Every structure is written in structure tokens, then in C-alpha cells.
Amino acid sequence: MEVNITCTTELVHGGCNACAITPSTSYLITFDRATSGIPLDTLDVESLVMAVALKNGFRQELILDFGDEVILFKRAMAMVTMKEEYGQITYESQGKVHPVRQVNATPEAIFKETNHILTTLFQIEPVTFKMEEVEA
């Protein structure tokens, strides 16, 4: 599967004379040269894993418990849980646990980490990520 990510950065004015102009970056993900895309909140492992897993037939279920919130990805008999605690996301499936620290990383590091989670826990073939910056 090929995943194309389009990155657009626009300079946004705050609206008043005292507000500074700040850059606003948005990401759009498309699968296998599709003509329409899905917007991403940020370019991080969590967003990419979710988009690719859903594209590959997984369904999400939110499980709420006292003090815990778990997202369960299910497809047939395959199940992967995602839990966020103390600035870290943990994916788990069949006794395999993979923690992901939410830090600013390079796109290449994010793609590598995403592929590792998708192949080892979700049993999805490796994804080819291509990133393109577009002028706004």
C-alpha cells in the first residue's frame, strides 16, 4: 500500500494589530493514488496508525472504565488495544506491547515507527509513505 501525505503550511494572521502572524500546518493523507484524502490532526504515529488500520478493515471501539480509556481496534479475530497514559501511547496485541513516546520526531522516524507497529501488532504489510510539501 502506498500512502501519500500532503503538507501545507499557511501563514495565519491573529486578527488584530497586536497578534503575530503564525504558521499553520495541515496534513492530508491519500491511499494508493486516490483523488480524495483524509485530513490528519498532526503528523504523528497515532494518527498514521489509526488511518492505515481503518483503511485495512479494522474497526474502532472506545472502552471506558474507571480512570481508563482504551481504544480497541478489531478485525475478525485480530484485536489491538491503544492506551494513552502520562504522555505515552501503548499499543498491545497478543502479549506484545509497544510503547510510543509523543515527541517531535522527523517524518522518517515517524514512518518507521508506524510501520513497525502496523506489521508486528496489526499484521498489515509494510506501507510506503511519501510526503510532499505544497505551497498554500
pLDDT for the residue numbered 136: 67
How many structural domains is the chain composed of? 1
> Which residues constitute the domain of residue 85?
2-135
* Average predicted confidence (pLDDT) for the chain: 90
**pLDDT-derived band at 85, boundaries 50, 70, 90:** confident
Contacts of residue 122, Cβ cutoff 8 Å, sequence gap at least 6: 49, 53, 56, 58, 73, 78, 80, 93
Task: Give the other-Cβ count within 10 Å of 131's Cβ.
Answer: 15
